[in-house]
Structure 1
Amino acid sequence: MKNENSLLNQLIQAFKILPGIGEKSAQRMAFHLLEKNREGGKNLAKLINESVENIRNCTECRNLTEEVVCDICSDEKRSKKTICVVESPTDVLAIENSGSFKGKYFVLMGRLSPIDGVTPHDLGIPKLIEKVKSSDIDEIIIATSPTIEGDATSFTSRINLMIIKP
């Protein structure tokens, strides 16, 4: 593209912020919307805007929700005795789709990474500790990814939680 500030080029660059979308995929997406599906593009733009404006973190577990407290945290039928600590809302979705877990969650919104400057505070570990201190929780399941960062996150979480729940 000759004009880097053109709307088309800006649209292509905007698609590239999505994970796994490179230059060619971004071009295909932009051209598809403009050539074949303008109404779909308008709807996509509307939904992205509404989502960014209205979806926030649950005050209890940090999962994504349109409400102050998410459906899972406000469900009285779920066990308050078990909490599953996960890295992201996609982990909550995967576990919920399995239908096997009936407790509550705490979403870290990432994993520990000193190289990238992600600290326990950034992951909400102090909030998790307060939640465990103030609740009658019997079991804490730490379900982080099997990576170096995931293991470090799990270890740091366990150490901090062992101080209050030996």
Structure 2
Amino acid sequence: MTVPSSLQQLIQALKVLPGVGPKSASRMAYHLLQRDQAGAANLAHAIEYAIRTLAHCRHCNTFTEAEVCEICLDDERSRRQLCVVEMPTDLLMIEQTLAYQGLYFVLMGRLSPLDGIGTKDIAFERLLERASDGEVEEVILATNFTVEGEATAHYLAETLRARGLKVSRIARGLPVGGELEHVDPSTLAQALVERRGL
């Protein structure tokens, strides 16, 4: 039996989501069509609406419905610090800590030469322009601690330092409440290297 083309198209569309393979996409498609058609219609409407109304903030590159996002418009935030993250979800996680009161810049990705992702595929030039506006004194690199995130941080640090900017990197180490016997060796080693005085 062949799968109807409209169903096959839905399955293919669902496969663009991260971590969703052919089987998961198929299960999702059948669930939406068989058990939750109203939810499927709502999902389609929400995606269409988001595509139509969201744009990138002129200053920090995150998603917003206005030309400039709320964080960039907030006069209470420090203009001297600029925290660089890979994705808007990373920005939201840092915001939840309530520990940072500066501004952000969202790259919308990370460098990954093996995947063909270079500086033209992330907002590299926009970051350089933003960081060199005369207000920013320190750029905090908060890319992920993956091979690609580390490579991105290294490349950005070299480029930003060459422009006379102070560059720092978020620390990594043991999670709060974590026990040493359950921590991987590289995390423990990094925690020792990045120890601080008390």
Same fold (TM over 0.5): yes
Q: Deviations for 1:100-122, whole angstroms, at most 9, x for unmatched residues?
A: 21111011111112222322233
| 1:140 partner SS | strand
The correspondence of residues 102-121 of structure 1 with structure 2, limited to 5 A, is 102-121=101-120
Cα RMSD (Å): 1.5
Amino acid at match of 2:54: I
The correspondence of residues 1-166 of structure 1 with structure 2, limited to 5 A, is 2-3=2-3, 6-165=5-164
Q: Which moved more, 1:129-138 or 1:67-76?
A: 129-138
In the TM superposition, residue 16 of structure 1 has moved relative to its aligned partner by 1.0
Structure 1, gaps ≥5 residues long: none
Higher relative contact order (CA 8 A, sep 6+): 1
Task: Write the distance in 1 (CA, Å) between the matches of 2:107 and 2:52.
Answer: 21
Q: Which moved more, 1:110-119 or 1:143-152?
A: 110-119
Identity of aligned residues (%): 45
| 2:140 partner SS | strand
Amino acid at match of 1:2: T
Equivalent residue pairs, number: 165
| 1:134 partner SS | coil
Structure number, greater radius of gyration: 2
Provide TM-score, normalisation by structure 1.
0.91
Q: Deviations for 1:112-144, whole angstroms, at most 9, x for unmatched residues?
A: 122223222332222222222223222211011
Q: Deviations for 1:13-67, whole angstroms, at most 9, x for unmatched residues?
A: 1111111112222122112211121111111110001111211111111111111
Amino acid at match of 2:83: C
Q: Deviations for 1:46-104, whole angstroms, at most 9, x for unmatched residues?
A: 00011112111111111111111111111111111111011111111111122221111
Provide TM-score, normalisation by structure 2.
0.77
Task: Write the distance in 2 (CA, Å) between the matches of 1:152 and 1:2.
Answer: 45
Task: Write the distance in 2 (CA, Å) between the matches of 1:27 and 1:119.
Answer: 33
Task: Write the distance in 1 (CA, Å) between the matches of 2:124 and 2:30.
Answer: 43
Q: Which moved more, 1:126-135 or 1:138-147?
A: 126-135
Task: Write the distance in 2 (CA, Å) between the matches of 1:35 and 1:119.
Answer: 42
